[in-house]
């Protein structure tokens, strides 16, 4: 009972050097993977096409489009939830936009606002159902996937008798607001003919992934995201507004789908009910390659940028490998996913259990 009041407990942790700390970061696997995949395709293609301006522009465009989704999806997954509806949301939001422009003749800014309001409202509803019922978001958003896709097809056919709405280009030509979504940042004329266009979605991608990273690592909301995914009950007991965190993130994933839909509709000039299929899975793959745990509570929005880059490199790379074509993209994607899950799982276990 009469021991000294200040217990002299020896230090139990060693100083960790910065390199080792980086090795324990969730995005380490993604960075290494991106470099590896890049080198492999460099070797397979000999740089031909792949490393030329057009190839790079193509890689970045693929990466940007999936990266916009991957950034918000990784936040949602870190909070312990899934959103399988974003692929359908890309189709649905694109139709809302095109119908507003072409069928209802609304001004561009209003059509865009309605599109985002529709998506964010849907995201709210979805999040609210998940939080209120306590059902797995996997199921709720799977239902949503079918409702949105089927609803888009049904409604569009009822209104226009078709499943494609075209004629958007006439409505947005010269509109400065539309330029936010379809401008070309940099256009390089290639000596042998043709052009390499670096489009504005690359900028959107960097802004959104950067913002997501900042929120995750530097704001209290970011800390709540980690806590919610780590254990929702425990986080709630510590005063974290778990329901608000989850609902907000479902709104973010839906909004990112609406953004991608707007970019696509304004670039292509039409909306198609089938657009965005499988994008929900590609976004999850992007997040997982980026180091985000399927079980939640761990991950990185920055990592999702590298995940997206890996997808871009792969899709374009395969195209330039002699004897191959993009038909093989999905095979490689599946292989990459498997490899990423195995590697990241190992790294995560090492980071959280080693150094006892």
Residue 210 touches other proteins, criterion: CB under 8 A: no
Q: How far is the CB of 28 from other proteins (least distance, A)?
A: 14
Task: Using the rule CB under 8 A, give the single segment among 42-50, 269-277, 301-309, 345-353 that binds other proteins.
Answer: 345-353
| Residues 97 and 111 sit within 8 Å (Cβ to Cβ) | yes
Query: How far is the CA of 76 from the CAs of 233, 264, 294, 297, in angstroms?
Result: 17, 23, 10, 10
| Residues 165 and 156 sit within 8 Å (Cβ to Cβ) | yes
Task: Using the rule CB under 8 A, give the single segment among 4-12, 52-60, 120-128, 135-143 that binds other proteins.
Answer: 4-12
| Token pair of 28 as six digits | 């380490």
Residue 132 touches other proteins, criterion: CB under 8 A: no
With CB under 8 A as the contact rule, the residue among 135, 218, 338, 342 that binds other proteins is: 218
Q: How far is the CB of 109 from other proteins (least distance, A)?
A: 22
Task: Using the rule CB under 8 A, give the single segment among 137-145, 182-190, 334-342, 347-355 that binds other proteins.
Answer: 347-355
- Token pair 């999806």 is found at 73
Please identify, using beta-carbon distances, which residue of 157 and 350 lies nearer to other proteins.
Answer: 350
Q: How far is the CB of 293 from other proteins (least distance, A)?
A: 7
Q: At what angle do helices 86-98 and 279-289 cross, to 10 degrees?
A: 130
Task: Using the rule CB under 8 A, give the single segment among 114-122, 134-142, 212-220, 257-265 that binds other proteins.
Answer: 212-220
Q: How far is the CB of 2 from other proteins (least distance, A)?
A: 12
DSSP notation for 84-106: TTHHHHHHHHHHHHHIIIIIS--
Please identify, using beta-carbon distances, which residue of 160 and 231 lies nearer to other proteins.
Answer: 231
Please identify, using beta-carbon distances, which residue of 299 and 317 lies nearer to other proteins.
Answer: 299
- For residue 271, list its beta bridge partners: 165
Residue 11 touches other proteins, criterion: CB under 8 A: yes
Please identify, using beta-carbon distances, which residue of 33 and 222 lies nearer to other proteins.
Answer: 222
Residue 253: which region, alpha, beta or left (left: phi > 0; alpha: psi -120 to 50)? alpha
From CA 349, how far away is CA 155, in angstroms rounded?
Answer: 48
Residue 10 touches other proteins, criterion: CB under 8 A: yes
Q: b/e string for 201-214 if b means 16 or more Cβ within 10 A?
A: bbebbeebbeebbe
Which residue from 291, 294, 299 is spatially nearest to 226, judged by alpha carbons?
Answer: 299
Task: Using the rule CB under 8 A, give the single segment among 3-11, 155-163, 266-274, 318-326 that binds other proteins.
Answer: 3-11
Task: Using the rule CB under 8 A, give the single segment among 15-23, 143-151, 164-172, 303-311 that binds other proteins.
Answer: 15-23
Please identify, using beta-carbon distances, which residue of 8 and 173 lies nearer to other proteins.
Answer: 8
Which class for 74: exposed (0-12), middle (13-18), buried (19 or more C-beta within 10 A)? Answer: buried
Q: How far is the CB of 239 from other proteins (least distance, A)?
A: 4
Which x/- pattern, by CB under 8 A, does the window 219-258 give for other proteins?
Answer: xx-xxx-xx--xx-xxxxxxxxx-----------------
Please identify, using beta-carbon distances, which residue of 94 and 299 lies nearer to other proteins.
Answer: 299
Residue 9 touches other proteins, criterion: CB under 8 A: yes
Which x/- pattern, by CB under 8 A, does the window 285-304 give for other proteins?
Answer: --------x---xx------
For the chain, how long is the longest CA-to-CA vector? 88
Query: How far is the CA of 163 from the CAs of 98, 108, 112, 149, 158, in angstroms?
Result: 12, 21, 20, 11, 9
Q: How far is the CB of 208 from other proteins (least distance, A)?
A: 15
- Token pair 């709210």 is found at 124
Please identify, using beta-carbon distances, which residue of 5 and 327 lies nearer to other proteins.
Answer: 5
Helix runs in the chain, H state only: 18-23, 28-45, 53-78, 86-98, 108-133, 137-160, 168-172, 176-182, 201-218, 220-230, 232-237, 242-268, 279-289, 301-320, 329-353
Phi, psi of 63 (to 5 degrees): -60, -40
Give the binding site for other proteins (CB under 8 A). Answer: 1, 3, 5, 7, 9-16, 21, 24, 218-220, 222-224, 226-227, 230-231, 233-241, 293, 297-298, 348, 351-356
């Amino acid at each position: 009972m009469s021991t000294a009041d200040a217990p002299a407990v020896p230090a139990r942790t060693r100083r960790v050097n910065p390199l080792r700390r980086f090795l324990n970061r969730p995005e380490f696997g993604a960075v290494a993977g991106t470099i590896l995949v890049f080198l492999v395709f460099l070797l397979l293609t000999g740089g031909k096409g792949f490393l030329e301006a057009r190839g790079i522009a193509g890689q970045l465009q693929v990466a940007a489009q999936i990266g916009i989704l991957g950034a918000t999806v990784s936040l949602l997954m870190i909070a312990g939830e899934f959103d399988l509806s974003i692929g359908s949301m890309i189709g649905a939001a694109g139709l809302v936009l095109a119908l507003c422009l072409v069928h209802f003749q609304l001004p561009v800014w209003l059509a865009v606002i309605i599109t985002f309001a529709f998506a964010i409202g849907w995201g709210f509803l979805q999040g609210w159902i998940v939080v209120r019922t306590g059902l797995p978001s996997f199921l709720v958003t799977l239902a949503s996937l079918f409702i949105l896709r089927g609803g888009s097809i049904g409604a569009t056919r009822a209104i226009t008798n078709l499943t494609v709405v075209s004629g958007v280009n006439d409505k947005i030509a010269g509109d400065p607001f539309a330029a936010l979504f379809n401008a070309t940042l940099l256009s390089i004329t290639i000596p042998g003919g043709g052009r390499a266009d670096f489009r504005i979605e690359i900028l959107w991608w960097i802004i959104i992934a950067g913002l997501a990273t900042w929120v995750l690592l530097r704001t209290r909301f970011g800390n709540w995201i980690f806590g919610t995914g780590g254990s929702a009950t425990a986080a709630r007991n510590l005063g974290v507004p778990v329901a608000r965190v989850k609902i907000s993130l479902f709104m973010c994933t839906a909004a990112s789908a609406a953004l991608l839909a707007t970019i696509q509709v304004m670039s292509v000039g039409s909306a198609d009910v089938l657009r965005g299929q499988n994008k929900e899975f590609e976004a999850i793959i992007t997040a997982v390659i980026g180091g985000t745990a399927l079980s939640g509570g761990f991950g990185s929005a920055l990592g999702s940028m590298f995940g997206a880059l890996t997808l871009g490199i792969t899709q374009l790379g395969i195209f330039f490998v002699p004897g191959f074509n993009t038909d093989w993209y999905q095979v490689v994607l599946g292989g990459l996913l498997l490899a990423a899950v195995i590697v990241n799982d190992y790294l995560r276990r090492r980071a959280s259990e080693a150094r006892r």
